């Protein structure tokens, strides 16, 4: 018995060590760095400043703006991906001819590299891109519109791109959840004369609650801290209209070389996500108990 | 507790012991100082043209000055290695145009004939991420051995570059215009200025035009023109919703700021009072000035009046080039980076390419840096003990022979004054605007304002976007930018006197 258990722990050891050095050590170093001024243009000057950089962050109007825009970006993307993913999951769950092919096609956005997706959508959304061409030909708009250069439409355009990229994740998770729902529940609802919408609302959705909770939580965390689409399509512009907190940290670190200040911003991002996760889980568990 | 089960305490103890052992392995390896192996060079993917102007804003020399140096000779240096032992090096480059790759190939072929024992793998770090990546690699000690050194200012601070004082002779340096030589020196970790880079291609800015569109609009190509005449031309060349007079890039690093700054300087704006090249020690910053405001207003009004492509706020140099090459715009600010390629591409569409000098404002038509492509040796070569071999390559690339092959292939202007008289450049009218421009060259900012380019790229460019979108006035931009620059300099220990 001892050997059996010991072997199990030994198998866990490499993963634990890897997590320790890949996750926790850099995290601890990042937190430590946030208490020092570290500017790459001044490597011989790295004083300990305590919480000064955190105070600077709170007083930085760009930080506040990035925080709010980060949530705009995240909530828009997650809701968009969830809704489209749910529709896709419902489609994939039907007994359709060529179901396998449909499932494969739906997964394509997920496997396309983010950089490629960003470049693709950037081209589609240029002044003479396909989007403008189609909309002007349909008479929806009269003049070409610079979707990514207009502060009003830049973020929605990014959210649209991220929705396209992210919906297959929800589709796969929700499909897996749907397939675990007992068939008897659907039979019972059919016997009771429920409409399709009523079946969805009262049978499918409640059964998918834990799947929805996990997938939206993961998607929120990933989206809030992602910068790839934003970096390639708008670089946070025009004039900071698509500047999120994650972009703020990245540009501060690698654009202006202020590593300590960027580390403080990154710590704040991590804290925000931890608080969000805690509140989210608390609300979910409380609702479960009720 | 059952004696047969492993307790949590024992497990955690075992974990700690195992972690300690695993930690010891890389520590021992680091103490051993293992040489960094050359990394495999990804093949160039034909990415769009990148701005290659030097961020140091160096002064241009006279293109007509007689070369004072004899042809540079590279002193063969004994390496202490057994003759015939192959040395493998890695070279980094930030541009990856097809013709640039071809140019490197041709130079490398000639180099290998002279140095068959040196093999080089070529890496490309795309321009947009190059500075950030190279800084990160410098911190990690994983830079290549040598290569493009346009970010020398920040890498030298990290002690990531090798001084070339003992390697480059005075004859070698005398091939460049005198005013450029100062910009090859940077303050090292010992607070002394050392030579850290040499140059192999030059370039400033001109206005590239689609001559066919000019002819169709009934415009003549002037030998020189004013900012008002430029605006008139842009207006005549604009066909609403079909074509715009000019394409502006207001996103990305390097070119956007440099092109904007040229407009500001044409109206008399500047970093300090007087020429930035002449400013050797901290003095009051004069970004916030009526001249800056006039220049910024002129630039903004090109967009506001509908003469510039509407996507300017998020157009990088790639979109700018694409706008011009596709006929969406008739003019753009551009260096001599891919003239051969651009000329051929326009020709395929039945259009003709030409270059005009920068428009003259009240302060003339000041030029940007003529010094563009810098090459240097990184600390990796020092760690690996291959500095001499790296210098063999760098010095050959930047020699007259290497420059002639490189520029002869891709059409860029060489950095050696002697080569400016070569018929390929002297007799081709498209280069005349660039060669003349070297006379008006000045640094974008003084030599003591180390690293301030990052403020222009990261803060100045978003402000340019705000200007175009009417979310910022020129007055606000002037004030905010000056504040950002002063804050940056003082955070870096450079005390700036108040004017």
Note the pLDDT tens digit of each residue in A208-247: 999 999 999 999 999 999 999 999 999 998 999 999 999 9
B403 min Cα distance to partner chain A (Å)? 32
Instruction: List the single residue in A with minimal CA-CA distance to B26.
Output: A21
User: According to the model, what pLDDT value does residue A218 have?
Assistant: 94
The pLDDT score that the predictor gives to residue A260 is 93
Domains of chain A, first to last: 68-252 (1.10.3720.10)
Give the residue, B5 or B203, on which the prediction is more confident: B203
Contact B314 A45 (CB under 8 A): no
Question: Which residues of chain A make contact with B312, given a CB cutoff of 8 A?
Answer: 149
When pLDDT is averaged across residues A174-196 and rounded to a whole number, the result is: 92
Q: Which of A156, A160, A165 is nearest to A219 (CA)?
A: A165
Strands B244-246 and B329-334 turn out to be parallel
Highest mean pLDDT among B129-133, B301-305, B424-428: B301-305
**Residue B439, pLDDT score:** 67
Domain boundaries of chain B, sorted by first residue: 87-202+371-427, 206-366+447-491
Measured from the Cβ of residue B297, the count of other Cβ atoms closer than 10 Å reads 18
The SS3 assignment for A27 reads: helix
Pairwise CB contact (< 8 Å): B493 & A6: no
In the numeric block, the tokens 């903004």 are attached to B300
Q: In chain B, what percentage of residues exceed pLDDT 90? A: 51
Query: Under a CB-based contact definition with an 8 Å cutoff, are residues B456 and B423 in contact?
Result: no
Residue B293: pLDDT band with limits 50, 70, 90: very high
Question: Count of CB atoms within 10 A of residue A38's CB?
Answer: 21
In chain B, which residues have their Cβ closer than 8 Å to the Cβ of A121?
Answer: none
**Is B14 in the A-facing interface, judged by CB distances under 8 Å?**
yes
- Chain A CB within 8 Å of residue B157 CB: yes
Hey, what are B441's tokens?
A: 């060259």
Q: Is the pLDDT of residue A286 over 70?
A: yes
- pLDDT score for A43: 74
Tokens of B370: 């003529």
Q: Which of A1-15, A136-150, B174-188 has the lowest mean pLDDT?
A: A1-15
pLDDT confidence of residue A73: 97
Most confident of A35-49, B348-362, B365-379, B425-439: B348-362
Token readout for A236 is 């946070």
The CATH class, in words, for B87-202+371-427 is alpha beta
Segment among A21-35, B25-39, B41-55, B176-190 with least mean pLDDT: B41-55
Q: Is B329 on the interface with A (CB under 8 A)?
A: no
The ipTM value here is 0.83
Measured between beta carbons, the chain A residues lying within 8 angstroms of B23 are 21
Does residue A237 contact residue A157 with C-beta atoms inside 8 Å?
Answer: no
- Across the interface, do A20 and B313 touch by the CB < 8 Å criterion? no
* Residues B412 and B336 sit within 8 Å (Cβ to Cβ): yes
The CATH class given to the B206-366+447-491 domain equals alpha beta
User: Chain A to chain B, count of Cβ pairs less than 8 Å apart?
Assistant: 121
How many angstroms separate the CA atoms of B246 and B256, rounded? 14
Residue B309 with chain A: CB contacts under 8 Å? 127
Is any Cβ of chain A less than 8 angstroms from the Cβ of B221?
Answer: no
Residues in chain B: 499
Span A248-261, mean pLDDT?
89
Mean pLDDT over each residue of chain B, to the nearest integer: 83
In the numeric block, which tokens belong to residue B483?
């504040």
Q: Which residue would you say has higher pLDDT here, B77 or B247?
A: B247
Query: Edge-to-edge, what's the strand order for the sheet holding B206-210?
Result: B244-246, B329-334, B206-210, B353-356
pLDDT of residue B69: 33
Question: Using an 8 Å Cβ cutoff, are B73 and B105 in contact?
Answer: no
pLDDT at position B50 = 35
Nearest to B158 among A13, A16, A43 (CB): A43
Q: Phi/psi zone of residue B218: left (φ > 0), alpha (ψ -120 to 50 degrees), beta?
A: left
Q: Do A42 and B492 touch (CB under 8 A)?
A: yes
How confident is the model at residue B30, as a pLDDT? 46
Question: Long-range contacts: B68-73, Cβ < 8 Å, 24+?
Answer: B68/B174, B69/B171, B69/B172, B69/B174, B69/B175, B69/B418, B70/B171, B71/B400, B71/B418, B72/B169, B72/B171, B72/B172, B72/B175, B72/B395, B72/B399, B72/B400, B73/B169, B73/B171, B73/B172
pLDDT of B22:
62
Residue B301 pLDDT exceeds 90: yes
Which region among A18-32, A173-187, B16-30 has the lowest average model confidence (pLDDT)? B16-30
Nearest CB among A42, A240, A258 relative to B462 is that of A240
Closest residue in B to A9 (Cα) is: B11
The residue of chain A nearest to residue B250, with distances taken between CA atoms, is A238
- Which residues of chain A lie closer than 8 angstroms to B468, CB-CB? 238
Answer whether B251 sits within 8 Å of A237, measured CB to CB.
yes
Mean pLDDT of chain A: 91
Q: Is B321 on the interface with A (CB under 8 A)?
A: no
Q: For residue B20, name the pLDDT band (cuts at 50, 70, 90).
A: low
Contact B454 A1 (CB under 8 A): no
| Omega within 30 of 0 (cis) for the link into B117 | no
CA distance A254 to chain B (A): 5
Give me the mean pLDDT over the A153-159 stretch. 96
DSSP three-state, residue B331: strand
What end-to-end distance do the CA atoms of chain B give, in Å?
78
User: Do B206-366+447-491 and B87-202+371-427 fall under one CATH topology?
Assistant: yes
Least confident span in B71-75, B310-314, B383-387, B481-485: B71-75
Q: What is the pLDDT of residue B492?
A: 81
Whether residue B198 has pLDDT greater than 80: yes
Q: Which of A16-25, B38-47, B105-114, B450-459 has the lowest mean pLDDT?
A: B38-47
Q: Do B328 and A128 touch (CB under 8 A)?
A: yes
> What's the whole-number mean pLDDT along residues A105-115?
93
Asked if A9 lies within 8 A of B471 by C-beta distance, the reply is: no
d(CA A34, CA A256): 16
């Amino acid at each position: 018995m001892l050997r059996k258990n010991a072997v199990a722990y030994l198998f866990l050891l490499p993963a634990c060590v890897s997590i320790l050095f890949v996750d926790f050590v850099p995290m601890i170093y990042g937190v430590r760095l946030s208490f020092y001024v570290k500017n790459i243009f001044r490597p011989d000057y790295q004083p300990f400043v305590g919480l000064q950089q955190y105070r600077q962050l709170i007083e930085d109007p760009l930080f506040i703006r990035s925080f709010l825009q980060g949530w705009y970006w995240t909530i828009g993307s997650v809701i968009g991906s969830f809704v489209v993913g749910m529709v896709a999951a419902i489609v994939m769950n039907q007994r359709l001819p060529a179901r396998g092919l449909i499932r494969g096609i739906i997964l394509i956005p997920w496997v396309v590299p983010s950089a490629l997706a960003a470049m693709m959508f950037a081209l589609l959304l240029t002044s003479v891109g396909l989007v403008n061409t189609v909309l002007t030909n349909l008479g929806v708009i009269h003049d070409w519109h610079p979707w990514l250069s207009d502060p009003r439409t830049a973020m929605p355009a990014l959210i649209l791109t991220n929705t396209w990229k992210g919906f297959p994740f929800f589709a796969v998770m929700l499909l897996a959840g749907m397939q675990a729902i007992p068939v008897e529940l659907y039979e019972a609802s059919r016997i009771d004369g429920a409409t399709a919408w009523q079946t969805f609302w009262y049978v499918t959705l409640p059964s998918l609650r834990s799947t929805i909770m996990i997938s939206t939580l993961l998607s929120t965390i990933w989206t809030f801290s992602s910068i790839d689409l934003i970096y390639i399509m708008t670089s946070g512009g025009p004039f900071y209209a698509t500047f999120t907190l994650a972009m703020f940290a990245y540009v501060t670190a690698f654009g202006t070389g202020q590593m300590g200040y960027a580390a403080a911003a990154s710590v704040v991002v991590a804290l925000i996500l931890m608080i969000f996760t805690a509140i989210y889980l608390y609300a979910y568990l409380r609702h479960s108990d009720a | 507790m059952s004696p047969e089960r492993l307790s949590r305490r024992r497990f955690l103890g075992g974990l700690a012991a195992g972690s300690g052992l695993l930690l010891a392995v890389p520590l021992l390896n680091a103490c051993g100082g293992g040489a960094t192996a050359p990394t495999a060079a990804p093949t160039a993917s034909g990415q769009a043209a990148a701005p290659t102007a030097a961020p140091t804003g160096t002064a241009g020399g006279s293109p007509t000055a007689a070369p004072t140096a004899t042809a540079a000779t590279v002193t063969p240096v004994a390496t202490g290695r057994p003759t015939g032992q192959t040395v493998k090096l890695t070279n980094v480059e930030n541009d990856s145009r097809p013709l640039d790759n071809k140019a490197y190939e041709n130079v490398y072929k000639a180099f290998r004939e002279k140095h068959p024992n040196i093999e080089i793998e070529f890496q490309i770090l795309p321009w947009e991420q190059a500075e950030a990546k190279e800084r990160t690699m410098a911190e990690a000690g994983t830079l290549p051995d040598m290569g493009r050194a346009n970010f020398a200012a920040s890498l030298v601070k990290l002690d990531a570059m090798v001084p070339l004082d003992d390697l480059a002779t005075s004859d070698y340096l005398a091939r460049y215009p005198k005013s450029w030589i100062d910009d090859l020196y940077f303050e090292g970790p010992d607070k002394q200025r050392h030579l850290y880079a040499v140059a192999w291609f030059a370039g400033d800015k001109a206005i590239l035009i689609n001559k066919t569109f000019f002819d169709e609009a009934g415009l003549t190509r002037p030998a020189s023109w004013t900012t008002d005449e430029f605006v008139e031309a842009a207006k005549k060349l604009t066909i609403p919703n079909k074509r715009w007079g000019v394409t502006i890039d207001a996103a990305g690093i390097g070119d956007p700021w440099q092109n904007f700054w040229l407009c500001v300087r044409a109206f008399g704006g500047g970093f300090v009072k007087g020429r930035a090249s002449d400013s050797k020690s901290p003095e009051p910053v004069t970004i916030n000035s009526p001249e800056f405001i006039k220049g910024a207003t002129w630039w903004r009004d090109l967009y506001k009046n509908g003469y510039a492509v509407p996507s300017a706020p998020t157009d990088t140099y790639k979109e700018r080039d694409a706008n011009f090459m596709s006929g969406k715009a008739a003019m753009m600010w551009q260096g001599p980076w891919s003239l051969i390629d651009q000329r051929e591409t326009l020709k395929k569409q039945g259009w003709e390419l030409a270059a005009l000098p920068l428009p003259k404002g009240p302060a003339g038509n000041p030029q940007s840096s003529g010094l563009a492509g810098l090459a240097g040796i990184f600390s990796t070569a020092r760690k690996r003990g291959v500095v001499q071999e790296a210098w063999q390559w760098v010095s050959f690339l930047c020699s007259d022979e290497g420059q002639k092959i490189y520029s002869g292939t891709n059409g860029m202007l060489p950095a050696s004054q002697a080569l400016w008289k070569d018929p390929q450049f002297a007799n081709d009218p498209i280069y005349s605007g660039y060669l003349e421009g070297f006379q008006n060259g000045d640094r974008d900012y003084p030599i003591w304002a180390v690293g301030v380019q990052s403020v222009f790229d990261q803060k100045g460019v978003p402000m340019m976007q705000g200007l175009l979108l009417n979310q910022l006035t020129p007055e606000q931009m002037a004030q905010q930018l000056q504040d950002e620059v002063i804050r940056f300099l003082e955070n870096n220990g450079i005390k700036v006197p108040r004017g």
